[in-house]
Amino acid sequence: MANLMLIGGERVASVTDEMFDVQDPATEEVIGQAPMGNEEDARRAVAAATNAFREWRKATAHDRTHLLHEIAHKIRARTEELATLMTREGGKPLVENRDELGWCADCFDYYAELQRNTRGRVIPSVESSQLAMVLKEPYGVVAVIVPWNYPILLMTWKVAPALAAGNTVVIKPSEMTPLATLLFAEIFDHLPPGVVNIVTGYGATVGRELVISPHTQLIAFTGSFNTGREIARLAAERVKKTHLELGGKDAFIVAEDADLDVAVPGVAWAALLNAGQVCTSTERVYVQEAIAKRFTEQLIDFVRTLRLGSGLDPQTDIGPLIGDRYRQKVENHVEDARQRGANILIGGQRPPQHTRGFFYEPTVLTGVDHGHRIMREETFGPIIPIMTYRDFDQAIALANDCDYGLGANLYTNDPRKVKQYYEEVKAGTCWVNDPLTDNDAGPFGGMKFSGGARELGEEGLEAFLETKHVHWDFMQQKKSWWFPYGDNESESG
């Protein structure tokens, strides 16, 4: 059952009965198969979601609260089973996937309660016989297109508020990590049929059909800038709303007053979590020149202690990259930097002890600049490139010299620097002395090429609600309009 799609409350194969292989990135072994969905499967799922929306939108806030809390309860009960499968198909260490599922459960609990209280307002009327209301109502069918790096969490950040708002959803997981999502479908089995649907397959077929379908009203996507731009183009042709989070090239500023015993492991965590495959991974580090030598030496010593291996091994700190083409991109960025004069202080190669799997050593570079690809393009790998700066104004300018603006980090004990940083850095999330932490009540999203969507918080729920103004004259009074109006037939025409 777990390797079948979910459409209209039924576990089904693709209409073609075709399947595709799913690989363990730590061993390169095939660990399972998923249905090769196509456009017809996507249309079936959208039709099921459309039918289910007619009743789901009428569910009371009380009922939705209990149904969403039940999802959270089921996630906690099945964490180990789900986390193990997530590690096998995605490569992240098991402890990280346990954390991911805990965050998912918390998120469903959060929106279960928040949706009780978010439903518009009554506004002053211009006449005593009128009632004017601003209502918040669901869009309808939401297409949820999810990446591979946090397949359940980034699905949850969309699905939880979408369901809380009264929408139905069709989910397309990444073809790299569909198995855990198909297993997760069992978590939704207490919901009315068709409220949640899952179709596996490739973006060029299933994903595109969900975007262009006349019956999907909103497209929620996390992924690459290029794919997001194509989704935006297709949606714009249909005047369809999009909700896009398109990655980042996050900067990390280390001020001269920073406690390096805290800042060094903080930078390593921000850059190397999930082998650097996080939308908000630190991909550019700017260190004040007076402390740069000491910072770099401590960072190298720290990185040297980190262990690569299978995510199922409890001794593993860093797992593999998701696939070979992603590793090749990392290698290309490092080689470009090396040829342009960068220094590889540690790492910079495939680990010789791992002859199987898509591993790459955690790598520290100096001598980089903004002419290098590794400082301009999203790398998505375990790389820490370091530049120095003279004064804090220059650090801010370097942080902003980027097309992306998802997140940014700062280590300092100077409140004046903190204020200048969060006022001037163009990033959707600004972390100070505590990198990459999330808060269900705090909105997450980017600026510039990172997209304008916001997930989590009240903004995350608002994203799945549209606004309607209701103007009601309950006295049904006759009025003199600008055209003839009255009892005289000749006057009223």
The catalytic position among 89, 96, 245, 283 is 245
**Which tokens hold the place of 173?**
């997981």
Rounded (10°) angle between helices 153-164 and 94-114: 10
Separation of alpha carbons 35 and 13, rounded Å: 6
Separation of alpha carbons 22 and 91, rounded Å: 12
Q: Do residues 153 and 100 touch, judged by C-beta distance below 8 A? A: yes
Phi, psi (5° rounding) for residue 64?
-65, -35
H or E element in which residue 365 lies: strand 363-366
Q: How far apart are the first and last CA of the chain?
A: 68
Please count the helices (runs of H) and the strands (runs of E) in the chain.
Answer: 15, 21
Phi, psi (5° rounding) for residue 133?
-130, 145
From 97, 194, 188, select the one nearest 151 (Cα to Cα). 97
Has 279 been annotated as catalytic? yes
Total residue count of the chain as it appears in this document: 493
From 92, 34, 85, select the one nearest 322 (Cα to Cα). 92
Separation of alpha carbons 149 and 349, rounded Å: 22
Phi, psi (5° rounding) for residue 231?
-60, -45
Q: What is the DSSP letter of 35?
A: E
Q: Do residues 352 and 372 touch, judged by C-beta distance below 8 A? A: no
Separation of alpha carbons 422 and 408, rounded Å: 9
Has 361 been annotated as catalytic? no
The catalytic position among 89, 96, 175, 279 is 279
Residue 18's Cβ-side half-sphere holds a number of Cα atoms within 13 Å equal to 9
Q: Do residues 338 and 344 touch, judged by C-beta distance below 8 A? A: yes
**Which tokens hold the place of 242?**
């999009």
Separation of alpha carbons 405 and 251, rounded Å: 9
* Residues known to be catalytic: 245, 279
